[in-house]
């Protein structure tokens, strides 16, 4: 079981951040279009324990390659940054993964798309994320809280407040604010 240590912040100036990443020696590695599907019991047992069960499909720009991963995220641990246990399993077929979760009693409760520009800076990932209707964010993921703080300072993001909520929580809050019953957010679904 891995430990996810990350900081998320709203991003207002993507070009400035990308210039800064180049200046400090980061390497752009991938542009990824994600489809994130969240599953839970009908009673929302995982959500009520602060856990998440996700099937994510990543499609890589410039190739026909894609990857599907089932991820369980445990409850957040007490820390200034977002820290939680995470288990991931890569699967061959998204539809089969969804069928398996259905047989086990899980239902899809949420779907959203995200476009991610992944950068690598030594032992850290810096990911610039765009979500429909929600805008742009940056996530810094690293091996320790101190390393994440160091990269945040290198990127001149010290004055950007941390966002503690997951993307799923931000999407749910947005969807609840809209009229009607919505359970998905995609780049071409809203005008």
pLDDT cut 90: percent of the chain above it: 79
User: pTM of the predicted model, to two decimals?
Assistant: 0.89
Closest CA to 57 of 186, 182, 169, 176: 186
Residue 173 in any domain: the answer is: yes
Tell me, yes or no, whether 99 lies in a domain: yes
In this structure, of 31-40, 42-51, 84-93, 182-191, the range with the lowest mean pLDDT score is 182-191
28 falls within a domain: yes
- Alpha helical stretches, state H, 24-144: 45-48, 94-103
CATH number of 139's domain:
2.40.320.10
In a domain, 94, yes or no: yes
Enclosing domain of residue 154: 2-180
> 186 and 112 in contact (C-beta within 8 Å)?
yes
Q: Is residue 125 part of a domain?
A: yes
Number of domains within the chain: 1
Residues 45 and 39: their CA atoms lie apart, in Å, by: 10
Domain membership of residue 188 (yes or no) is no
90-105: per-residue pLDDT in tens?
999 999 999 999 999 9
């Amino acid at each position: 079981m891995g430990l996810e240590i990350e900081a998320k912040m709203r991003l207002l100036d993507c070009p400035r951040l990308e210039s800064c990443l180049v200046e400090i020696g980061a390497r752009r590695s991938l542009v990824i279009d994600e489809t994130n599907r969240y599953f839970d019991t009908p009673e929302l047992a995982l959500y009520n324990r602060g856990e998440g069960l996700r099937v994510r499909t990543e499609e890589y720009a410039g190739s026909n390659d894609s990857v599907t991963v089932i991820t369980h995220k445990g409850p957040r641990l007490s820390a200034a940054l977002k820290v939680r246990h995470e288990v991931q399993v890569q699967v061959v077929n998204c539809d089969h993964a969804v069928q398996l979760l259905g047989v086990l009693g899980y239902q899809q409760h949420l779907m959203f798309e995200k476009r991610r520009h992944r950068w690598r800076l030594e032992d850290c990932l810096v990911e610039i994320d765009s979500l429909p209707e929600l805008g742009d964010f940056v996530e810094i993921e690293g091996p320790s809280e101190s390393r994440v703080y160091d990269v945040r300072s290198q990127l001149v993001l010290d004055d950007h407040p941390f966002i503690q909520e997951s993307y799923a929580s931000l999407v749910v809050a947005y969807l609840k604010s809209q009229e009607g019953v919505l359970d998905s957010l995609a780049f071409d679904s809203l005008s």
